[in-house]
Amino acid sequence: MYEALINKDASFEGLFFAGIKSTGIFCRPTCTARKPKFENVDYFASTKDALFAGYRACKRCRPLELNGKTPEWLNDLITLVKQDSNKRWKDFELKKAGIDPSRVRRWFKKNHNMTFHAYLRSLRLSNALGNIKHGDDITRAAYSHGFESVSGFREAIKQLIGEPAAKSKLKTIITVNRILTPLGPMIAGATEEGLCLLEFADRRMLETQFKRLIKLFDGSIIVGDNKFIEKVSEEINSYFAGKIKRFTVPIVIPGSDFQRRVWSELKNIPYGATTSYEGIAKKINSPKAIRAVATANGDNRLAIIIPCHRVIGKDGKLHGYGGGLWRKKWLIEHENVINQV
């Protein structure tokens, strides 16, 4: 942990917090403050433990805030965007509101991998496509969602789905957005039927999962708002707070018959319990398909909702988890603690 602290290793975010004896503050592993001496560091599993030990939260890395949380200086702008996602914000309007456009641009690039203006354009396009799929004509949808011309709107749709606007009704739109958790940001994705994606934002397979979803749904991915993303955000927050043990958000999980059998069995693993790949194979009446079960387990696109973190090795050790073994360990221990309350 000291090595991670010195190297500011982001892969340890959420795993521990460091209390600096010489200053009386506690930090994230990635804090940019001066490097403390080895003997001057205490380690804590949670911010609560650090606070109870008498340490104060660092004002630089802000360990009490969720990683990726919208900063205070941006909250008013985010509220205004939610109230009117069709408004075309200009840099001079941001400056007039006392907000530095460059600062906004950097934050959106870091947290959404796109500029603020690209984010707004994506929201407008998402809303317009939703109207078209429910019977609105292209011209009305374009002008009612802030596009200056129908031709520009048509070109935006073509760039998104690779086909003319007239065919957009046939495409499945997969809306994605971030949700915040104590273990780092997650990317949630949903169609009009239900949730189809929930992955930690730093998972290396995330781009591959996007490509699979596009192929499976014959659809396109766009940043925006969706009622199922809002619901899973609420339920995930309740899960981490220890208030719920089961999820009710509707899910859509296209896959092979074998994959769906495995994922269905994963959902049957009791909260706070664990099983092995071999145990899952036996449950689905395919006792020799242990490796195939492990592969299907890794192909799960709904982390936590379909609790693949509850599958461990036959030897009782933790093996393979897309979100990182430290998160798997944390989730298992979290559920054990809640079960004992």
Q: Catalytic amino acids?
A: 308
Residue with the two structure tokens 């036996």: 282
307 Rama sector, left if φ>0, alpha if ψ -120 to 50, beta otherwise:
beta
Query: How far is Cα 197 from Cα 253, in angstroms, rounded to an integer?
Result: 9
Q: Are β-strands 56-57 and 172-179 bridged in parallel, bridged antiparallel, or unpaired? A: unpaired
Tokens for 79?
A: 């509220």
Query: How far is Cα 202 from Cα 113, in angstroms, rounded to an integer?
Result: 12
Helices (H), the chain: 2-7, 47-52, 72-83, 91-96, 101-112, 116-133, 138-144, 150-161, 206-217, 227-240, 257-267, 277-283, 290-298, 325-340
How far apart are the two ends of the chain, measured CA to CA in Å? 29
Tokens for 306?
A: 């379909």
Amino acid at 270: P
Q: Which residues is 190 bridged to in the sheet?
A: 175, 195
Q: Are β-strands 172-179 and 311-312 bridged in parallel, bridged antiparallel, or unpaired? A: unpaired
Cβ-Cβ contacts under 8 Å for 148 (sequence gap 6 or more): none
Query: How far is Cα 188 from Cα 175, in angstroms, rounded to an integer?
Result: 8
Q: Which residues is 188 bridged to in the sheet?
A: 177, 198
Judged by DSSP in three states, 219 sits in: strand
